[in-house]
Amino acid sequence: MFKINDNFRNIGESYLFSDIARKVSHYLDENPDANIIRLGIGDVTLPLCATVVDTLISASREQAHSDTFQGYGPEQGHKFLRELIVRNDYASRGVSLDYDEIFISDGAKSDIANIGDILSADNLAAITDPVYPVYLDTNIMTGRPVHMLPCNEDNDFLPKLPVSVRPDIIYLCYPNNPTGVAMTYDELGEWVDYANHIGALILFDSAYEAYISDNDVPHSIFEIEGAKTCAIEFRSYSKTAGFTGLRCGYTVVPKELMSGNVKLNDLWRRRQSTKFNGASYVVQRAAAALYTDEGQRAIRQNIDYYMANAALLKNSLTNCGLRVYGGKNAPYLWVKAPDKLGSWNFFDILLKEANVVTTPGIGFGSQGEGYMRLTAFSTHESTKDAASRIHKLFNK
Amino acid sequence: MFKINDNFRNIGESYLFSDIARKVSHYLDENPDANIIRLGIGDVTLPLCATVVDTLISASREQAHSDTFQGYGPEQGHKFLRELIVRNDYASRGVSLDYDEIFISDGAKSDIANIGDILSADNLAAITDPVYPVYLDTNIMTGRPVHMLPCNEDNDFLPKLPVSVRPDIIYLCYPNNPTGVAMTYDELGEWVDYANHIGALILFDSAYEAYISDNDVPHSIFEIEGAKTCAIEFRSYSKTAGFTGLRCGYTVVPKELMSGNVKLNDLWRRRQSTKFNGASYVVQRAAAALYTDEGQRAIRQNIDYYMANAALLKNSLTNCGLRVYGGKNAPYLWVKAPDKLGSWNFFDILLKEANVVTTPGIGFGSQGEGYMRLTAFSTHESTKDAASRIHKLFNK
C-alpha cells in the first residue's frame, strides 16, 4: 500500500495568497462596485520591454525552420546566456565566475525550492521570521528541522547570529522580502564569516538586487570575501525585467563550495540533469536580450518607475503617522499597524475602508504579526490613489 | 556542519547521453570528416508548425502592452489550456476529467521526477528494466527502495506482475521508451486491477501516446476502468509537437486518487504551488494552438513523418537479419545485437563502421545489455542513409 510523504500534513492547507484572494473575492461579491487597488501579491505591472519582445519574436521565428530549430538545450542553460551573466552580473562587480557555475532555470522559486534535494534532511535550517513562505514550507515538506531567526524593530529586521543553536543551512534574502530592508557589506560579511566558521551553507536569495540604491549594500553575496566556500546565490529576472509570466532565473553554485570532497556544483548539475530539462529556449534568448544596452536601459527605467512608487508610498504613509520600513533598496514596504492592530485586522480595514489589498505580515511568520507588506509594483496612478486613500484613513 | 543528501553517492557520476556525446566527440576528433548520423538521443528534428509559431509571436506581442501583459499565472497552468486538454485529449476518448485534475508544467520530465516529493521515501518502487533512467535515478536520489521488473524477449518486453514483492509505486511507460513496445487494453487492465487490489500507485508515462497506431492500445491509462483510483498520468508536447526546446507538458491527478483521507490532487497542487511558478505563458498559448484543426493536422503530419522513418528502419534492419522490436506504436526501435555482442560493442561498431550514433541498451538497465535503441526522429534522408549503411554492414 503506497504511503504519502507525511511531512505534507505539517504544512498549512492553503497558501497565503489564496487566502487573500478569497477575502478579496468575497468582498467584491458584496461590493461589486468597489474600486480595488492591489498592492498585495508581488506581481509586476509594466509590460516587457521592446527588445525582449522583439527577441522573443525572432527566436520564435527561428523555430519555424529546420536549420534554426532548437530542440533540447543543455539542462543547465544555453552557454550564450550563462556567459552574459558571468560578464554582466558578476565580472562587472569584480566577481570572477566560470560559465558552468551558472545554472539557468524557469525561475528562482523553483531553484530555491528544489535546492533541498541535494541536502540532507537532517540539516538544521535557519530561516528568518518573517520570511518568503517558500523557504519554510519546502523544509517542512522534507521534514527538515527549522530554527527561526526573529527579525523585528528591536534588531532593525536583521537576524542576529544564532547563539543557542548551530544551523547547517541558513536562508538569507537581502534586500528582503517582505520587510524591504537590506544588509550592508559588513552585515552580510559577518554571516559569511560565521558560516565558514561553523561549516554552514548560506542559501542567498538575491532576487531584488537590482533595486539596491545604497552603495554600501552588496548586489551579490560573492562580493564578500569567502562567500564562494559557503554560499549558493539565487537570481531572478521576474522583478527586474517583468519575467513573472515568462519564467527565467538562475542559480550560482561556485566550484569551491564543497562538502568533504564533494562539489555542490556537481550535485546541482546532476539534480538538474535528472529532474529538469532546461528553461524554454525562446525565454533564454529573451533573457539574453536584457544584457544589450537597450535591455539595460529598459530595466533601469522599470526599476526607477517602481522605486518612485515606493518613495511615494513611504512618504505618504510616514506623513500620516504610520511607521514604514524598506522601500529604499527593495520594492517592498513593511508597515507597522497602528493601535496594536493585528495583521489581518489591518488588512481588513485597508480592504474595506480604503479598498486597498495588502499582504498581512502574519502570513510571513509570527514576527510579522502587526505589520503589512505593500509592494511598489502597481502603476503610478494606482499607487498614488492608494497612498492618498490610506493617508486619508489614518490622518485623523 | 551541513551535510549533503548522501543518496547522491549511489547514482552514477554521469548521465548516459553525456557518455555517448563524449564517445562521438572523441571519434570525430580522430575522424573529422566522418559523416555522422545521430539516431541516439530522442530529440526531434522537424521545426514547430506554423500555427504554433504564429501563436508564440502573437502571445509575445501581447506582452509589450500593459493591458494585455501577463505576469504570474496559476502555478497549475492557465485554465484555457487545461480546459482544452480535458476536452480534446480525454473527453474525446470517453474519459471525463475536471480541468483542475490537469496540472500544466515545463515538461513531463520535471513532473515525473518531482512527483516523488509527495510520496514517502519508504515506498517500494517497481521499475521496468530497461527503463528511461529518470525513474530510477530520482528514486535513488530519494533513497527509495527499488524493485526491477525485467523486460526481455522471454516476456515480449512486458513486465510480469510481481510475485515475490508487493510494490507500493509502479512506473509504467507504454508505448515504451526504450523498447518501443505497447500494452493493449487487456494488458494494462491487469496492472490497474493489480494496483487497486494491493493499494499501489501507478505512475503512467504516456509521452508517446500520439504514436499509437493499433486500435487495441490505450492512449491514456484512464481509458481503463478503475484507473482513477490508482494512477497518475504524465503527458508531453515534446515528441508530439516538437516542444523539446519550448518546454511544456502536463500531469493528470484524478480527485478520486486517495491515500486514506488525503487526495493526491491536493498534495500535488500544494507541491506545485510551493515549488513551481507555472509554465511560461507564451508557451502555454503555443500549446493551446495545438488543439486547433491546423495544430492537429500539423501534429498528425509530424507523427506520420517520423513513423515513416520507423517503418523504413524496421524494414531495412529486419531484412538484413537483425531482430527489431517496437517502431509500430512508438518512435523507438529496440534492436538486438547480432552474434551476442554487448551493447557498447554494438554501439562502437555502428559508430565506427556505419557512422551511426545509437543508444546502447545497457544504458537503460541490465536487461538492455545486447540491445540498442534507435529513434525515428531524424530526417527522412538521414534515416534512409543510416538504414542503408546498417543494412550494408550486416547484410553479408
Q: What is the CATH number of domain B50-291?
A: 3.40.640.10
B71 touches A42 (CB < 8 A): no
Q: Mind telling me how many Å the CA of A320 is from chain B's nearest CA?
A: 31
B268 touches B110 (CB < 8 A): no
Residues in A closer than 8 angstroms to B9, CB to CB, are 262
So what's the pLDDT on residue A17?
78
pLDDT-derived band of residue A15, with 50, 70 and 90 as boundaries? low
Instruction: Report whether pLDDT(B13) > 70.
Output: no
Q: Between chains, do A141 and B169 touch, taking CB under 8 Å as contact?
A: no
Amino acid at A159: P
Q: Between chains, do B280 and A245 touch, taking CB under 8 Å as contact?
A: yes
Q: Mind telling me how many Å the CA of A88 is from chain B's nearest CA?
A: 25
What does the alpha-carbon distance between residue A392 and residue B15 come to, in Å, rounded to a whole number? 62
- Chain A residue closest in CA terms to B267: A8
Nearest to B119 among A5, A43, A106 (CB): A5
Instruction: Report whether pLDDT(B361) > 80.
Output: yes
pLDDT (mean) for A366-394: 96
So what's the pLDDT on residue A187?
98
So what's the pLDDT on residue A13?
63
Beta strands B169-173 and A371-375, pairing class: unpaired
Amino acid at B272: Q
B200 touches B170 (CB < 8 A): yes
pLDDT-derived band of residue B19, with 50, 70 and 90 as boundaries? confident
pLDDT (mean) for B56-79: 96
What does the alpha-carbon distance between residue B307 and residue B328 come to, in Å, rounded to a whole number? 8
Instruction: Report whether pLDDT(A228) > 90.
Output: yes
CA–CA–CA angle B164, B169, B171 (5° rounding) = 100
Amino acid at B70: Q
- What is the DSSP track for B229-247? GTEEEEEESHHHHSTTTT-
Q: Between chains, do A244 and B71 touch, taking CB under 8 Å as contact?
A: yes
A50-292: CATH, from 3.40.920.10, 3.10.180.10, 3.40.50.720, 3.40.640.10? 3.40.640.10
- Chain B residue closest in CA terms to A246: B280
Domain ranges of chain B: 14-43+294-394, 50-291
So what's the pLDDT on residue B14?
59
The tens digit of pLDDT for each residue in A95-110 reads: 999 999 999 999 999 9
Q: What are phi and psi of A301, to 5 degrees?
A: -65, -45
Give the full edge-to-edge strand order of the sheet including A169-173.
A102-105, A249-252, A231-236, A201-205, A169-173, A125-129, A146-150
Sign of CA dihedral A26, A46, A134, B108: positive
pLDDT-derived band of residue A305, with 50, 70 and 90 as boundaries? very high
Q: Between chains, do A69 and B46 touch, taking CB under 8 Å as contact?
A: yes
Nearest to B244 among A9, A71, A168 (CB): A71
Across chain A, mean pLDDT equals 96
So what's the pLDDT on residue B15?
67
Residues in A closer than 8 angstroms to B278, CB to CB, are 245, 247
A66 at the B interface (CB within 8 A)? yes
Q: Mind telling me how many Å the CA of B137 is from chain A's nearest CA?
A: 7
Q: How many CB atoms lie within 10 A of CB A120?
A: 17
CA–CA–CA angle B19, A120, A200 (5° rounding) = 105
Q: How far is the CA of A281 from the CAs of A62, A246, A271, A310, A342, in angstroms?
A: 11, 11, 20, 34, 46
Beta strands A249-252 and A102-105, pairing class: antiparallel
Fold of A6-48+294-394: Aspartate Aminotransferase, domain 1 (3.90.1150)
- Chain A residue closest in CA terms to B57: A57
More confident residue, A311 or B14: A311
pLDDT (mean) for A280-299: 98
What does the alpha-carbon distance between residue B69 and residue B203 come to, in Å, rounded to a whole number? 36
Across chain B, mean pLDDT equals 96
Nearest to A107 among B63, B259, B277 (CB): B277
Residues in B closer than 8 angstroms to A72, CB to CB, are 41, 43, 244-245
Q: Between chains, do A106 and B47 touch, taking CB under 8 Å as contact?
A: no
Nearest to B60 among A41, A60, A168 (CB): A60
Q: Between chains, do A56 and B56 touch, taking CB under 8 Å as contact?
A: yes
Q: Between chains, do B198 and A46 touch, taking CB under 8 Å as contact?
A: no
So what's the pLDDT on residue A41?
74
pLDDT-derived band of residue A5, with 50, 70 and 90 as boundaries? very high
Range 227-256 of A in CB contact (< 8 A) with B: 242, 244-247
Asked if the B14-43+294-394 domain carries CATH number 3.90.1150.10, the reply is: yes
The C-alpha cell 514517502 sits at B120
So what's the pLDDT on residue A7?
97
ipTM: 0.96
So what's the pLDDT on residue B40?
85
So what's the pLDDT on residue A140?
97
Helix (H, G, I), strand (E, B) or coil at B373: strand
The tens digit of pLDDT for each residue in B379-391 reads: 999 999 999 999 9
- What is the DSSP track for A60-110? HHHTTSTTT---S--TT--HHHHHHHIIIIIGGGT----GGGEEEES-HHH
pLDDT-derived band of residue A296, with 50, 70 and 90 as boundaries? very high
pLDDT (mean) for B338-363: 95
Q: Take residue B352 and report the three cell numbers written for it.
A: 565506427
pTM summary value: 0.96
- Residues of chain A above pLDDT 90, percent: 95
Residues in A closer than 8 angstroms to B110, CB to CB, are 275-277
Q: Between chains, do B118 and A41 touch, taking CB under 8 Å as contact?
A: no
A276 at the B interface (CB within 8 A)? yes
So what's the pLDDT on residue A299?
96
pLDDT (mean) for A350-355: 96
Q: Between chains, do B114 and A275 touch, taking CB under 8 Å as contact?
A: yes
| DSSP symbol at B112 | H
Instruction: Report whether pLDDT(B21) > 90.
Output: no
Range 111-170 of A in CB contact (< 8 A) with B: 113-114, 117-123, 133-134, 137-138, 141, 168-169
What does the alpha-carbon distance between residue A39 and residue A42 come to, in Å, rounded to a whole number? 8
Q: What are phi and psi of B55, to 5 degrees?
A: -70, -40
Residue ranges with strand state E in chain A: 37-38, 102-105, 125-129, 146-150, 169-173, 201-205, 231-236, 249-252, 258-259, 262-263, 323-326, 332-336, 356-357, 359-360, 371-375
pLDDT-derived band of residue A16, with 50, 70 and 90 as boundaries? confident
Q: Given its phi and psi angles, is residue A377 left (phi above 0), alpha (psi -120 to 50 degrees) or beta?
A: alpha
- Chain B residue closest in CA terms to A199: B1
Between chain A and chain B, the number of residue pairs with CB atoms below 8 A apart is 262
Beta strands A359-360 and B37-38, pairing class: unpaired
Q: Between chains, do B53 and A70 touch, taking CB under 8 Å as contact?
A: no
> Which residue stretches of A228-327 are H helix?
238-241, 264-275, 281-289, 293-319
What does the alpha-carbon distance between residue B141 and residue A62 come to, in Å, rounded to a whole number? 37
Q: Between chains, do B283 and A280 touch, taking CB under 8 Å as contact?
A: yes
So what's the pLDDT on residue A14?
59
Q: Take residue B311 and report the three cell numbers written for it.
A: 517503418
What does the alpha-carbon distance between residue B237 and residue A153 come to, in Å, rounded to a whole number? 51
B71 touches B274 (CB < 8 A): no
Q: Between chains, do A138 and B274 touch, taking CB under 8 Å as contact?
A: yes
pLDDT-derived band of residue A395, with 50, 70 and 90 as boundaries? confident
- Chain B residue closest in CA terms to A114: B275
The tens digit of pLDDT for each residue in A160-180 reads: 999 999 999 999 999 999 999
Q: Between chains, do B48 and A71 touch, taking CB under 8 Å as contact?
A: no
What does the alpha-carbon distance between residue B109 and residue B191 come to, in Å, rounded to a whole number? 23
A207 at the B interface (CB within 8 A)? no
